[in-house]
Amino acid sequence: MITAQQLHKAFKTKTGTVNAVDGVDFVAEDGRITGLLGPNGAGKTTTLRMLYTLMKPDRGQVLVDGIDASQDPAAVRRVLGVLPDARGVYKRLTARENIRYFGELHGLSKAQIVERTRVLSEQLDMGEILDRQTEGFSQGQRTKTAIARALVHDPRNVILDEPTNGLDVMTTRAMREFLFKLRDDGRCVIFSSHIMQEVAALCDRIVIIAKGRVVAAGSADELRDRFNTSNLEDAFVSAIGSDEGLLA
Amino acid sequence: MNNLRWMWCVVRKELLDIGRDRRTLLMALLLSPLLTPLLLMGVNFMAEKRVKTEMDRVLDVPVIGAEHAPNLIAHLATMGINAVDAPADLEAAIGAQQVDVALEIPESFGEDWAAGRPATIEVISDSTRRNAETPTRRVRAAISAYGQQVGALRLLARGIDPSVVQPVAVGTRDMASEEAKRGLLLSFMLPYLLILSSFIGGAYLILDATAGERERQSLEPLLATPASRGAIVSGKIAAACVIGMAALLLTLLAFKGSAHIGGGSSRMLDVSFVAMAKMLLVLLPMLLVGTSLLTLLAATAKSMKEAQSHMTWLLLLPMIPSIVLMVNPLKTELWQFAVPFLAQNQLLLKVIRAETIDPAIWAVYLGASLALVAALWGLAVWRYGQEKLAVSG
């Protein structure tokens, strides 16, 4: 379970201070897929970076399985599987070696790594690409490698930053199945997206973020009821107050 | 304990990664072992050959007014120095490097000679031209030998023992050891070449693993693992040091090999295994300084390009002590062993000259350089801890 309490994060730029995240609050339960939905530049990636301890919030608290991220970031990273926005894989290593490297960094034994690689490659359908060097991989193959690498230690909590970005329809569908599988295993899954249909199809709970704030949260049905619209897109537009950044 | 495990894991991955990049690995490992001995042997061979030919070959020296001193000209001819007619414009010929050295014998020479006054001869050459040095020295030596010989004869003719005008006889006892003499040429270039290759020996790997990793966007996932920043930095530095050490070892072995193949003058490249071990011990801290400095610079740079642009001034750094020592040779003092580059230079010279190195010197040297490494390492780890580094785009 991941809890974000009143997260604030500001960046200094040449033109002044930008409040990228300005009071984000939500709870992501185990066995649920929580979607962070928001237009480009809304602060989704910065929020996620604070969740996986890459950034320290200026104010507020992150709790992962009850562990305070600012107190013990290493312990938080141990129970998290992260697919960051930057998902570079090592080009000269094979997919299997990429996965093994992260398995070793998570302190897994050789046998555990072999077993987890087998399971993940089956779930992500990586059979053919597993022993190829990742140089020249397609976007989808790279994403699969990065996800397998992120989940090698079988984490209870999974954070994915725009996992379907740049994937074709078939791969996106497979990815969706994979996320459902993670949820049905009882994991806490958080993913971010700016694509409405995707969030609607996947998420048990939707957190809409705009300009660094949570403007609405709930299930798809709750959001439709609350904004009194028949489709989610209209609910989203009324929640963020404009249709800016919606066209991806 | 966990830190060591992470570090070891990073070392293995980085070595596997560069191992897949065959060409780069070969360049990093073999370039210096192949080029350095060739360079040293070539320079040595050329220097020796030049001295030999300049000393033995018959010199043609333009002489103005040769007719005024026929005996001197005959004497010079017995020493392989032939007088030839001077070109019309001697100055221009020297300027155009057609003539190395020339003589001018004034008309008054014969008169002065006969009267027993010092007779003037002018040796004309360009003192800034290095290839004119040896011929000029030969001509001067030949003339002054002739002068001494005639002077001695004149004294004898007057019934005086010529040794009367030599109240002091100066002898020379050279205390330089055989190794030091053999190593004279080596001492100019070898330290610089070795220091340079240890200083930047791990450069490719460390730039690729720091700035490159960031540019390829694989740093953020790496930093999201539980591995500590210190272990990651140390692992990368250690991997670069493995490559650098291997290159150094191969370079030293190449010296040994070429000494056996080449024979003759290349014998001086022969380095004993004990000396090799000492050199590696001297160079290891340099390797650590180089790679941790590069880690820091590469982690601070915005891109791989910016990181690579640092190489220009880094290449010049190890040259500074060599240049300073050339202009202003220093006596060995203890403080020098705390100054990076200078310390390595002095220590390598000691090893080449087969001098014993005081434990106090080792202590100062290792203490100072490891402290520097620790400081640079600390800065690099601090840089890895900053949010800006992790967020690449």
Task: Report whether pLDDT(B122) > 60.
Answer: yes
B388 and chain A in contact, CB less than 8 A: no
Task: Report whether pLDDT(B392) > 90.
Answer: no
Q: How far is the alpha carbon of A228 from chain B, nearest alpha carbon, in Å?
A: 39
Task: Report whether pLDDT(A51) > 50.
Answer: yes
Chain B interface, best mutation among A101, A134, A153, by max B CB count within 10 A: A101
Half-sphere CA count of A167, side-chain side, radius 13 A: 20
- Enter the DSSP assignment of B208: I
Average pLDDT of chain A, as a whole number: 90
A59 and chain B in contact, CB less than 8 A: no
User: E-strand spans in chain B?
Assistant: 59-64, 81-85, 101-104, 122-125
Least confident range from B41-45, B116-120, B223-227: namely B41-45
Nearest CB to B16; choose among A52, A97, A102: A97
Q: How far, in whole angstroms, is CA B117 from its chain's centroid?
A: 48
Half-sphere CA count of B85, side-chain side, radius 13 A: 2
Residue B95 is predicted with a pLDDT of 83
Task: Report whether pLDDT(B92) > 60.
Answer: yes
Task: Report whether pLDDT(B134) > 90.
Answer: no
pLDDT tens digits along A88-105: 899 999 999 999 999 999
Task: Report whether pLDDT(B264) > 70.
Answer: no
- Enter the DSSP assignment of B212: I
Q: Do residue B226 and residue A90 have CB atoms under 8 angstroms apart?
A: no
Nearest CB to B9; choose among A83, A104, A150: A104
Task: Report whether pLDDT(A121) > 90.
Answer: yes
Per CB-CB distance under 8 Å, the chain B contacts of A90 are: 13, 17, 218
B229 and chain A in contact, CB less than 8 A: no
Per CB-CB distance under 8 Å, the chain B contacts of A80 are: 224
pLDDT tens digits along B266-320: 566 567 888 889 999 999 999 999 999 999 999 998 888 999 999 889 988 888 8
SS3 A43: coil
Nearest CA in chain B to A155: B225
Nearest CB to B218; choose among A75, A90, A97: A90
- CA distances to A103, A180, B221 from B217, in Å: 19, 28, 8
By the 8 A CB rule, do B33 and B253 touch? Answer: yes
Chain B interface, best mutation among A54, A105, A113, by max B CB count within 10 A: A105
Least confident range from B220-229, B353-362, B377-386: namely B353-362
ipTM score of the complex? 0.91
| A79-89 average pLDDT score | 91
Q: Residue B210 — pLDDT band, cuts 50, 70, 90?
A: very high
Give me the sheet containing A16-28, strands edge to edge.
A16-28, A2-13, A59-64, A67-68
Residue B269 is predicted with a pLDDT of 59
Residue B282 is predicted with a pLDDT of 93
Size of interface A-B (CB pairs under 8 A): 81
pLDDT tens digits along A132-182: 999 999 989 999 999 999 999 999 999 999 998 888 888 888 889 999 999
What is the percent of chain B with per-residue pLDDT over 70, rounded to a whole number? 91
pLDDT tens digits along B27-78: 888 888 888 778 777 777 776 776 676 667 788 889 888 888 888 888 888 8
Q: Residue B365 — pLDDT band, cuts 50, 70, 90?
A: very high
By the 8 A CB rule, do A84 and B224 touch? Answer: yes
- Enter the DSSP assignment of B265: G
Q: Residue A194 — pLDDT band, cuts 50, 70, 90?
A: confident
This prediction has a pTM of: 0.82
Q: Do residue B226 and residue A85 have CB atoms under 8 angstroms apart?
A: no
Q: Is the pLDDT higher at B244 or at A220?
A: B244
Task: Report whether pLDDT(A246) > 70.
Answer: no
- A 139-198 residues with CB < 8 A to B: 146, 149-150
Q: How far, in whole angstroms, is CA B337 from its chain's centroid?
A: 19
| B127-145 average pLDDT score | 85
Residue B39 is predicted with a pLDDT of 78
Residue A247 is predicted with a pLDDT of 45
Chain A interface, best mutation among B225, B228, B229, B392, by max A CB count within 10 A: B225
B23 and chain A in contact, CB less than 8 A: no
* Rg of chain A (C-alpha set): 18
Q: Do residue A90 and residue B9 have CB atoms under 8 angstroms apart?
A: no
Average pLDDT of chain B, as a whole number: 85
Nearest CB to B16; choose among A56, A84, A93: A93
| B9-17 average pLDDT score | 95
| B126-140 average pLDDT score | 84
Residue B206 is predicted with a pLDDT of 93
Q: How far is the alpha carbon of A89 from chain B, nearest alpha carbon, in Å?
A: 6
Nearest CA in chain A to B225: A77
Residue B267 is predicted with a pLDDT of 62
Task: Report whether pLDDT(B177) > 70.
Answer: no
B4 and chain A in contact, CB less than 8 A: no
Nearest CA in chain B to A88: B218
Distance CA B201, CA B234 (A): 17
Longest CA pairwise span in chain B (Å): 100
